[in-house]
Structure 1
Amino acid sequence: MSGPRSTLGLSRRALLRAALAGGAALGATACTPSAPATPLVIAGGVRPGVYISLAGTLADIWRERLGLDGAPQVLTTAGSTENMQLLTGGAATVAISQVDVAADVATGITGPGEPMALARLYDDVTHVVVRRDSDFRTLDDLRGARVSIGPAGSGYQPIALRLLDAAGIGADGLGERAELGLPEADAALRADRIDAFFWSGGVPTGGIRDLADELPIRLLDLGDVLDRVRQRFPVYSVGTVPANTYGLPGPVACLSVRNVLLVTAAMDDGTARALIDAAFLDQPRLAQASPAAVTIDSRSAIGTQPVPLHPGALQFYRSAKDY
């Protein structure tokens, strides 16, 4: 997305600040937003991780662009499932989540607490990481193995369980099951305390790349189970991790899932529009926060189905061609 001319940038900044102050109309829609009832709190993710990096950058962008007295609070969390619990429970006003988890949580929720999307951010790819010198090649080889499926509260533990079910193993078919976050799983694989671990993140994920720099790894190819998973859960798609991403022997077929930026229906249209408008004004900063965010743009950002876009976000996308 190309940057705005300086005069336009100043005009939009003034409009954005007015949106949170509740005193001006935003763009062609001429809406009159009100200030948030509570300070912005963003449910982020684990450290190190793309979620927490993007959440911190968004907090800085919103503080600067919207003239807030202080940066929004960023919460370190286990990931998507916890983020959605925080959002729907009112402890967070903004959250990042995998779209599958968001859609599951949103089922049956109506009214002010209904989760609504501001934007599709980027796509996560599920990694199943093993040592390259191991005999593990497919999910079926993990039968009886020591495997970390990710921590409770993360978005990738449900994916791990669905993949294992599709492979005919299930969680009970593992030899030992651990629920480790990425740093702990990384350390356990290095120390030979586990044989494999699941992780879902942008490509490349820094923690996996650092591991691959010190320990030759392989990602299990998921091609033999992807059709079965997608038949049951069409929200997923097929992704590929190129060989040069982590120095792999070859490209690997993986499961892909979209990540979305969310608020609830309780947020007024002007504030929602101001948040996403400011984010796109500084999209290059998001890309600097994580290589995964390079793909964020206003054309792909509307792809949040089955989670509906917030009306304020719709206003932004409908008028984005004017920017």
Structure 2
Amino acid sequence: MSGGARSGVMLRRIVGVVLAVTMLGATSACSTRATEWTDSTYEIAGGGANGVYYAYGSELASELEAAFDVEISAAETAGSVDNLLRVGSGEVLLAFAQGDAAADAVAGAGAFDEPLPVQAIARLYDEYLHVVVRADSDIEELADLSGRTVSLGAENSGVNVIAGRVLDAAAVDVASITDPQLDLGESISALEASEIDGFFWVGGIPTPGIAELAETTPVRLLAIDQSWVNEVNGRYSDAYRSSDFPVGLYGLDRSEPTMAVPNYLVTGADTPDAVVRDVLTGLFDARTRIAHTVPAAALLDRRQAIFTGPVELHPGAIEYYRAQRD
């Protein structure tokens, strides 16, 4: 056999091996997917395009698509209440939600007329209440919002829930505020154009849209007193804690006290256990990659993820976390 012929045979063998390995890898990847992934497409309820929910949801969707060969995408929504309604009705597979709104959802309280069949998959990170005003505003404290035009969050958002509770605790008459009910992107644009005096937002830090706003329009964050946090906890689900915005965030030259609330990834109670296990596998495996785009993802901790009360953990999540301890 000539040298050219031997080379041709060897090349064909190498190509054959490469193709076999590629096919084996593809088969292995697909075989790791639970058979319960039965729908053709899935959605994750995120939030507004300028917020952490949507960014996190988009990255998670891409990771789950690659890991389990399913078609899944993030949906723009009004926020926590909207997300919980969607996951409770089976419209979406997964949703991000504030802990307080999720507690209301399973209890059939607040914005929810009846309990929703929603369960938690993981506690992800804590969100922070932002009350944003322009740096040159004469508004110095929450009481100064009376009589002003301030967005208290979009309708059916978790922001709207917290805004009303905190203003009430601070003895600020919500009825005295003109509220255009804007989402985060609309609030940012309106503040930049001086069409509103301020806006409420609840999200991870840094929230991308607010960080971008601060680069062109200097902002301040109003302080949230510890006593207000205590009062809100006493009246509602005890889901809140006091925290602080660090110096340097959004260009701040001093730390400001605020209120934090945990954020959960939730699903419907009827979601198959195996699918939930797959989601958690993908979520934790991709944590570092997602954090490159969404810094809040780095806060995901397997030891803390199980603390989702009063929202019950999904049975598939319980199985996943127990298996990690073995």
- What is the TM-score normalised by the length of structure 1? 0.85
- What is the TM-score normalised by the length of structure 2? 0.85
SS state at 2:66 partner: helix
Contact in 2 for aligned 1:151/1:179 (Cα 8 Å): yes
- Asked if 1:191 is matched to 2:193, the reply is yes
What is the identity percentage for the equivalent residue pairs of Structure 1 and Structure 2? 38
Of residues 311, 315, 322, the one that matches 1:311 is 315
Contact in 1 for aligned 2:222/2:256 (Cα 8 Å): yes
Unaligned runs of at least 5 residues, structure 2: 1-23
Of residues 126, 129, 143, the one that matches 1:126 is 129
Contact in 2 for aligned 1:241/1:251 (Cα 8 Å): yes
- Asked if 1:55 is matched to 2:69, the reply is no
- Asked if 1:266 is matched to 2:270, the reply is yes
- Asked if 1:283 is matched to 2:287, the reply is yes
- Asked if 1:74 is matched to 2:74, the reply is yes
Give the equivalent residue in structure 2 for 1:257.
Answer: 261
Deviations 1:80-113 (A, max 9, x none): 111111111121121111111112112259xx96
Unaligned runs of at least 5 residues, structure 1: 1-9, 22-33
Contact in 2 for aligned 1:218/1:249 (Cα 8 Å): no
Of residues 146, 154, 159, the one that matches 1:151 is 154
Give the equivalent residue in structure 1 for 2:173.
Answer: 170
Of residues 207, 211, 231, the one that matches 1:205 is 207
SS state at 1:271 partner: helix
The residue correspondences of 1:100-119 to structure 2 (distance < 5 A) are 100-108=100-108, 114-119=117-122
C-alpha separation between the residues in 2 aligned to 1:308 and 1:296? 18
Deviations 1:126-145 (A, max 9, x none): 10011122222211111111
SS state at 1:153 partner: coil
Size of the aligned set, in residue pairs, is 295
Of residues 234, 252, 255, the one that matches 1:231 is 234
| Per-residue deviation, 1:39 | 3.6
Give the equivalent residue in structure 1 for 2:95.
Answer: 95
Contact in 2 for aligned 1:122/1:293 (Cα 8 Å): yes
Of residues 192, 217, 220, the one that matches 1:218 is 220
C-alpha separation between the residues in 2 aligned to 1:119 and 1:55? 14
The residue correspondences of 1:12-31 to structure 2 (distance < 5 A) are 14=28, 17-21=31-35
Give the equivalent residue in structure 1 for 2:18.
Answer: none
